[in-house]
Amino acid sequence: MEQDKPGIVIISPRFYPILGGGENQARLAATMLSKNGYKVTVIASKVQGAPYFERKNFFSIIRLPSFNFKKKDGMPAVLENLFFVALANVALLTRLYTFKVVMFFFGLDYFSLIALPLKLLGKKTLVRTASMFSKEIGNIRFSAFSRVRLILIKAFDIYIALSKELYFSFVADGIPENKIILLPNFIDEKKFFPVDEEYRLILRQKNALKPEDVVVLYVGHLNAIKGIDFLMRTINEIDLEEFGLKVFILGSGKFVSNSMENEIKDLLRNAGKKQHVNFVGTVEDVAEYYQLSDIFVLPSKTEGMPNSLLEAMACGSACIATAVGAVPEIISNNYNGILISYGDVKSFKNILIFLAKNKIERKRLGRCARQTILHNYSLQKELHEYQKIFSRLAKNK
């Protein structure tokens, strides 16, 4: 019954208007749960132009003061994250009677400093993460501090592992298996879906594309971690005009460390490829770009559970992705996509050319990709799993 549904706080330092895989998952979770009768409040860091408080899509957002979020790594990022943790603790303490469950997005390290006092206050916590260690403190894994950290992170009630690799990392670090749930990212399959050829042509005309153009799509931050430089090096090895390739780049270097936006634009300009590559920038609703494209590329150096890959697969794109993070758990090579090694420009180039020339193979890969999403990553399946988790937490009072 609706009155039995617990109040939920979602803590996600990076949140809308920042657009990215984890950020989109946090927003989708807030929307999905609130529409299904849960009272949801999101606590996030404030970014320029966003209000401190707003009501959006049936849930509330509280944004806490921050400074230059993730512009730098190392100690500035540590101090910033600790500042966020302190403010988040205050925000939760002033709202103790409005929630029973707190969901954490993006990591364990700092959030254990929130989960521990919540545990003492009788609240339930679950953490949803794609990695074990925050990158700026990951190099202390075997130090004395790391042993303290491993004690702290056991304060959570439920650990949602986005990949099998992370599941086994939790187990190796002493998290009881009965507290770990393997639950990957999820996709709204009714928002991200293949369109018929007639509507696809309309989308292409809207973007000044010819029917015969083969569109290659990249969606993500413009930094080295996402492999944008690897993609640009590969593109520079291909005669884009000869194979009818048009490249669309969605995303920017804003809100990320080590931005390469200016460098890759200069690289393309100097290589004479600019007329074949369209930098669209940050787009809130990316569905139509997946739907008009033929090939989606994920050239990342490292990954967790990539949201953009799942969205592209849901729209029936032929996908090429580096075999990093959870990607090999999603893509079965040559069945529902193609896996490559990061930095292998020659293989990447040859696969792009092969798919550009082979429409039948693109369509086959896209159909299999769509079926993978429907079977394993659908929104309704995720909602059902969350409801089971909340029911379990309610029984363990």
CATH of the domain at 113: 3.40.50.2000
The verdict on 203 and 178 lying in the same domain is no
With H, G, I as helix, E, B as strand and everything else as coil, classify residue 338.
strand
The verdict on 218 and 366 lying in the same domain is yes
The verdict on 19 and 131 lying in the same domain is yes
Q: Is residue 341 part of a domain?
A: yes
| C-alpha–C-alpha distance, residues 34 and 86, integer Å | 26
The verdict on 272 and 343 lying in the same domain is yes
Q: Is residue 24 part of a domain?
A: yes
Task: Judge whether residue 1 has pLDDT over 50.
Answer: no
Q: Is residue 191 part of a domain?
A: no
Query: Percentage of residues in the chain with pLDDT exceeding 90?
Result: 57
DSSP 173: T
The verdict on 333 and 311 lying in the same domain is yes
CA-nearest of 82, 139, 92 to 117 is: 92
Q: Is residue 181 part of a domain?
A: yes
Residue with the bigger pLDDT between 143 and 65: it is 65
The verdict on 249 and 330 lying in the same domain is yes
CA-nearest of 49, 121, 110 to 78 is: 110
Helices (H), 125-179: 144-152, 164-172
The verdict on 207 and 341 lying in the same domain is yes
Note the pTM of the prediction, 2 decimals: 0.85
| C-alpha–C-alpha distance, residues 27 and 184, integer Å | 15
The verdict on 239 and 313 lying in the same domain is yes
Q: Is residue 192 part of a domain?
A: no
Q: What is the pLDDT of residues 79-98, one digit of tens each?
A: 888 889 999 999 999 999 99
Q: Is residue 103 part of a domain?
A: yes
| C-alpha–C-alpha distance, residues 54 and 281, integer Å | 25
Q: Decide: 248 and 217 in contact? Cβ < 8 Å.
A: yes
Amino acid letter at 311? Answer: E
The verdict on 204 and 293 lying in the same domain is yes
Q: Is residue 170 part of a domain?
A: yes
The residue assigned the tokens 């390469």 is 260
Backbone angles phi, psi at 99, to 5 degrees: -145, 160
> Mean pLDDT over residues 365-394, rounded?
92
Domain of residue 213: give its range: 197-376
| C-alpha–C-alpha distance, residues 74 and 140, integer Å | 12
The verdict on 42 and 59 lying in the same domain is yes
Q: What is the pLDDT of residues 329-344, one digit of tens each?
A: 999 999 999 999 999 9
The verdict on 245 and 360 lying in the same domain is yes
> Mean pLDDT over residues 3-7, rounded?
76
Residues with Cβ < 8 Å from 336, sequence gap 6 or more? 313, 319, 365, 368, 369, 371, 372
The verdict on 249 and 349 lying in the same domain is yes
What's the structural domain count of the chain?
2
Q: What is the pLDDT of residues 10-23, one digit of tens each?
A: 999 889 888 778 88
Q: pLDDT averaged over the chain? A: 87
